[in-house]
A and B are shown apart, each in its own frame.
Chain A
Amino acid sequence: MSGSAYYELYRRSSIGLALTDTLDDLISARRMEPQLAMKILANFDRSITEVLADKVKARLSFKGHLDTYRFCDEVWTFLIKDVNFKLDNQQQVHADKVKIVSCNSKRPGEA
């Protein structure tokens, strides 16, 4: 729906940081006003959420030892140790520690 608000989580991703740096450069060069930069970031929040939900089909599975978990303010946090990721192409990646933060993709009242 047009009225939905989107999380700002992905601003901290590589692509979000790169976008913010670019907007900073444009503002420094006086080629853009911060108000427009805010709108662009809001659009980015929406677009990346939708694209990740709709377009990305790559997937992986992982196994590890669940060390800690919590659910606070509608946010799940999992700390997993000794994690083995298995990618689509059977390639495997190992990580000693992984933190997963997951937020509800829909607002209260939405289906």
Chain B
Amino acid sequence: MATDEFSQEMVQTPTSMLEVEELVKRLYLPGSPALIVQIQETLQKLQRSPEGWILADKLLESNDEKVRFFGALTFTVKLNADWDSLSEHDVQPLLARLISWLVRLVSRNESALVVRKLCSTLVAFFLRPSVSWTRCLRHLVCSISAGDAILEDALDQYPPTPELLQRLSLQQIVAILWFSSTLAEEAGKVNIGGQQQHSLHQNLTPSIEDVVVLLGYAIAPTADITLKQEGVKCLQSWLYFAHRAWVDQDNSAPLHTIRTLVEPAMHCLLNEDLFDITIEVFIDTLSNFSIFFRPEDMDALSSLLGTEWAGNRFQRLRESDFEFESLQFGRFLLAFGDATVDDLVKKSEEQSTRHILGMLHGLLQCEGYPIVEDEICEDALEFWNNFVDSMSAALFAEEEKSRPWMGAARQNVIQAIEECWGKVRFPPSEVLITWDSDSRKKFQDFRRDVNDLLQSAYTFLGAEVFERLVHLARHSLEEGAWENLEATLFCLNALAECISDDGGPEDDVLVQLLGSSMFSQLSNPDIPVPPKARQTAVNMLGHYSSLCKRHTELLPSALNFLFTTLSSPALSTPASKSISLLCSSCRKSLTSELETFLEQYGRFLAWPSADISTKEKVIGAIAAIIQALPSEEAKAAPTSRLLQFVEADVQSCLNSLANGQTEEAQGSGVAALRCLSSMGKLFQAPDDLPLDLDSETPQSTFWDAGAGKEIQNHIVKLVDIITGALSQDGEIIEEACNVYRSGLKETTPGPFVFPPSVTVEFILKSNHLTPRVENVLTTACVLLTTHLSDQSIRIDNEARLILLYVLRIVQSIGGPSNEPEIAQSCVDVIMRFIPRYINVLLNLEVQDGLERLFAFILDCLRGDDILPKRSAASFWAAFVSQTDQPEPLQSSINNIMAHMGPLLAVTLVRSIAGGAPRSDLDALAEPLKKLVFKQPRAKTWLEGALYGDAFPSDKVDQKERRIWLQKVMSLRGSRNTNQLVRELWIASRGTNFAYAS
């Protein structure tokens, strides 16, 4: 009934205390949000009124807990919002009122809700900048002891704090602890480094001793358990604060004082009822603020870890007790390990250290699979990674050659690796299928973290780690322990990156394994090897392809294994990858096996595992071997054989299309094109071939004019057939572009190195409606880029055709905002004309063509779309820098700049003066810098833009604009211009935008 009444009428301003109390009670009852907002607004008005101080007192006198809470809240509101209304004489009486309330409420066994709120009110009072309440804690203790607020000046007349604390009741001390905790928490929120923080610390320092006395009393072994719990929580708050306040003042007096609490806190650890909250304090402090602990504290913690108490807790963890308490003990041990890792590295032979290290090893040996069951091994692995990092740091920091600690530390790392080896083993398939995808992912992440440990440890262990792993692998192979073999090969794969390209002692060790019967056993269908073990072995051949290059005797058995594996749909993808890597790396050694490869490929195409991805990898691998044949003529026949395989896909595409099976046609078309582009990529000559600078042998004309030309024509025809049949398919267009691009990077002739005219012919077949035409434009970019250097042939005619093509697209799409991606690609192509083909650009024979192109690029710079804008900025930066072209080109450029310069200046200034988003400023600064540095009339153009009507902001006056321009001109296009650009942007937008630099 009451609810309805409230909801149907506006909340009236109360006229009596009774009505105020009713309103407060109503605030805490369920109701519509609109009603609650009305009540809040009404009560806030009362709180903020001059009578708010008296209202707070009255509310605290109420019989209702919620009303009293609101009374304390009202005091806080007044302190924070209306502090300035108080005179200097009002401050001390106000403090006395607040303390008096606390004393009274605590003595009446007030609820925690109200007492805590009043404590936070007192803290709000303390935090007022002009308040100097330096002995706040003792003031509270003495007042509570006296039964009412006393004067701060009279504190010396009272007995010492420890004596007073003994006289107080549990509730009274708990209230003081709550105040103390809130004080530390709120003080910790004050901004670091500010004046406010400095004066706050000055105010707090005198109270630190009182805090320590209070906490020492609360967590003393004889104290009540409730008191201890509150005491430990309070200690945690003060440690947070200490970390923030004195982290860089290791020897500060307050820290020394607080450190005396470590010993009693350690005693709390042993109490089962206090374990949870105390261990968290130690974990946090060891992890984030380890310098808080003195060496003697660390010794005491080390001794604690050697006690029966620690032994029992550790044993529980080892036996797969991963309950929260057990895990917290493990984290405590790890935090201690991290905090003392340097000592653990250098003193690993000392008795106490050996014990700790033994436990840390033990954390990698708990029962259960990592993450899925064993929840501590991930953190333990992180510790061992830190251990290795610490070894690394110590190794490079010390100059002496003999490092007595190294031997024992190495042994620890080897042991940790062996323990990890036990953890990275995959479970049997019947267990694995019960894991969800998240568990599998986390398990894989753990395995990757083990990779990191192995790679870091290699620095110290060298070939020894290979020896141990290869020994383990061979042993697993003999025993048929496939999960063990998989884990070992996985570890070896992780180390592949560590071996130098020239090989080393590791080669001999690895050859023992790779040259063993491993691959024949793994490919034997009669042996039930888990697929995962086969897959890791397949990956191994990809990882160690450079080793196979150095030891070609390994190749036959390795490739046999890979081709056998290719038949398995589950393993065909990694097998095809490894085949590709091996054939690419060892192409020269495999030329004699080319015929076998071609036959194998023919057979493979009939298997169900031959999908687009595997086909393109394997056909590319064979192309790499063909590329390594000694003569161009010898490459023709096998290349044609490969093209015949591709033709089958092309034919399949056409057949499917004829039958109306568009999806199948698209699949076959994409497969054919991806096979072609993969062939093109692998036909590229390897980067690491030696260059014979003295060679006078002319480049072969086999592919340009000889019999090879037929093969090139064949490739182009295949691409044409597919793009003609599926011209409206974006993926087809993209893949076709990849085929053309694969030859553009090559400097020597080859089957995919087409004459520029052929590529241009392909480009010109498209228009703005062609799906993914951006890819075609990018192909044009690549073509121009590969012909930019002075060593390359000029392609003026092709460049002219490309420019006309771009102009057509620009005219077709209208403004840049209609097709931002196409617009960006167009600008990128035009930019490639600078500087080598600038003659083609300037001599565009279409009426108004050049003007349209420049206007379009200026529109891109003005527009909202990020990518065209960035490309346009780059274009203008390049174009305005063209000041040393031969005549008559330079005159043409100067004429264009005379016309475009003022427009460009206006566009840049409008954008920089607040028009553009902040993230564009660096890009926009580039053309501005070039304009200032390269163009003599830049100042005039910029003046026009800055002082004209186009300037978009009224927040920057003429004088400021003049000064800004002077600064920009004096920097002459240097890097500091970016900062000036930022300053003008912020000044133009207003101080609201100065929140970020």
Q: Give the complex CA separation of A103 and B963 in angstroms.
A: 37
Contacts of A2 in B (CB 8 A): 188, 240, 244
Chain A residue contacts of B243, Cβ below 8 A = 1, 3, 109
Interface residues of B, count at CB 8 A: 36
**Bound CA–CA A41/B542 (angstroms):** 44
User: Contacting A20 at CB < 8 Å: which of B250, B291, B577, B996?
Assistant: B996
Q: Select one of A11, A18, A25, A35 contacting B996, CB under 8 A.
A: A11
Q: Chain B residues with Cβ under 8 A from A107's Cβ?
A: 247-248
B279 within 8 A of A: no
- Give A41 to B995 CA distance when docked, in angstroms: 9
Contact present for B497 and A61 (CB under 8 Å): yes
Contact B244 A34, beta carbon cutoff 8 Å: no
A50 located at the interface, meaning its Cβ lies under 8 Å from any Cβ of chain B in the complex = no
Told that A24-B917, A37-B995, A41-B995 touch, could you supply 16 new A-B pairs with CB distance under 8 A? A1-B289, A5-B192, A17-B919, A21-B917, A23-B995, A27-B992, A38-B995, A57-B448, A86-B497, A108-B247, A109-B247, A109-B289, A110-B288, A110-B289, A111-B290, A111-B339
Q: From residue A105, how far is it (CB to closest CB) to chain B in Å?
A: 12
Enumerate 9 A-B pairs (CB-CB under 8 Å) in ascending A order.
A2-B244, A5-B192, A21-B917, A28-B989, A34-B993, A34-B994, A37-B995, A109-B247, A110-B288
Return chain B residues, CB-CB under 8 Å to A104: none
Interface flags for A1-36 (1: CB within 8 Å of B; 0: not) read 111110000010000011011011101100001110
Residue of chain A at shortest CB distance from B451: A59
In the complex, A90 has a CB within 8 A of chain B:
yes
* Contact across chains for B992 and A34 when beta carbons are under 8 A apart: yes
CB under 8 Å from chain B, chain A span 43-84: 57, 59, 61
Residues 917-952 of chain B: 1 if any A CB is under 8 Å from the residue's CB, otherwise 0? 111000000000000000000000000000000000
- Contact status A109-B188, CB under 8 Å: no
Which residues on the A side are within 8 Å of B241 (C-beta)? 3
A60 to B250 CA separation, bound complex (whole angstroms): 38
Asked if B919 and A20 make an inter-chain contact with CB atoms under 8 angstroms apart, the answer reads yes
Task: Tell me whether B61 is interfacial, beta carbon within 8 Å.
Answer: no
If A34-B994, A111-B290 touch, whether A90 touches B284 (CB-CB below 8 Å) is: no
Answer yes or no: B734 CB below 8 A from chain A CBs. no
**Residues of B contacting A: mostly:** helix
A79 to B251, CA, bound (A): 38
If A20-B918, A34-B992, A34-B993 touch, whether A111 touches B286 (CB-CB below 8 Å) is: yes
> In the bound complex, how far is the Cα of B338 from the Cα of A5, in angstroms?
21
* B523 close to chain A: CB less than 8 A: no
A12 CB to nearest B CB, Å: 9
Contact of B851 with A by CB under 8 A:
no
Tell me the minimal C-beta distance from B814 to chain A in angstroms: 26
Asked if residues A27 and B993 are in contact (CB atoms below 8 Å), the reply is: yes
Kindly identify which residue among A34, A61, A86, A111 contacts B995, using a CB–CB cutoff of 8 Å: A34
- CB-CB under 8 A from A38, the residues of chain B are 995-996
A27: chain B residues within 8 A (beta carbon):
992-993
Chain B residues with CB under 8 A of A4: 288
A78-106 residues with Cβ-Cβ distance < 8 A to B are 86, 90
Which residues of A lie under 8 Å from residue B737 when comparing CB positions?
A: none
- Chain B residue numbers with a CB within 8 Å of A11 are 996
CB contact list, B565-622 vs A, under 8 A: 577, 581
Distance of A17 Cα from B870 Cα, bound (Å):
15
Name the B residues within 8 Å of A24 (CB-CB): 917-918, 989, 993
Name which residue of chain B comes closest to A32, CB basis: B992
Q: Mark B276-302, 1 if CB is under 8 A from A, else 0.
A: 000000001011111100000000000
Min CB distance, B706 to chain A, in Å? 33
For residue B188, which residue of chain A has the nearest CB? A3
Within 8 A of A (CB), among B890-921: 917-919
- Please, what's the 1-or-0 string for B178-197, where 1 marks a CB less than 8 Å from any CB in chain A? 00000000001000100000
**Within the complex, what minimum Cβ distance (angstroms) separates B910 from chain A?**
16
| In the bound complex, CA of A57 to CA of B286 (Å) | 26
Q: Report Cα–Cα, A2/B188, bound state, in Å.
A: 8
